[in-house]
Chains A and B, each alone.
Chain A
Amino acid sequence: MTIYGTALLSACLICGLFIGKSLGRLCGLQVDLGGVGIAMVLLMVVTGWLKKKQLLNSKTEAGITYWSAIYIPIVVAMAAGLNVRGAIRGGPAALLAGVLAVAACFALVPVISRWGKP
Chain B
Amino acid sequence: MNPTLADGCSLLVAFAVVGATVWISYVLSAKLTRGRVHGSAIAILFGLAFAYWGGVATGGENGIVDIRFFAGFGLMGGAMLRDLAIVATAYGVRVEELRKAGISGLVSVLLGVLTSFVIGAVVAYVFGYRDAISMATIGGGAATYIVGTVTGTSLGASSEVIALSVATGLIKSILVMIVTPAVAKSIGLDNPRSALIFGGLMGTTSGVAGGLVATDAKLVPYGALTSTFYTGAGCLLGPSLVYFLIRWIV
Contact = CB atoms under 8 A, between A and B. Distances in A.
B221 interface: yes
A10 B167 CA distance: 32
Say whether chain B's binding surface is mostly helix, strand, loop, or mixed: helix
Contact of A81 (B74, B171, B225): B74
Contacts, number: 316
Interface in B23-54: 40, 43-44, 46-48, 50-52, 54
A80 B164 CA distance: 20
Given A73-B22, A83-B61, A108-B201, 6 more contacts: A40-B87, A44-B90, A75-B44, A83-B62, A92-B127, A109-B187
Interface in A47-87: 47-48, 61, 64-68, 70-87
A71 B220 contact: yes
Interface residues of A, number: 77
Contacts of A12: 87
B55 A86 contact: yes
Interface residues of B, number: 107
A79 B51 contact: yes
Interface in A19-46: 20, 23-24, 27, 29, 31-37, 39-41, 43-45
B77 A74 contact: yes
A99 to B, nearest CB: 7
A9 B63 contact: no
Contact of A86 (B19, B61, B104): B61
Interface centre among B107, B123, B209 (most CB of A within 10 A): B123
Contact of B85 (A35, A67, A106): A67
B106 to A, nearest CB: 10
B171 A99 contact: yes
Contacts of A72: 22, 40, 43, 213, 217
B119 A97 contact: yes
A104 to B, nearest CB: 5
A100 B77 contact: no
Contacts of A102: 172, 175-176, 179, 202
A78 to B, nearest CB: 3
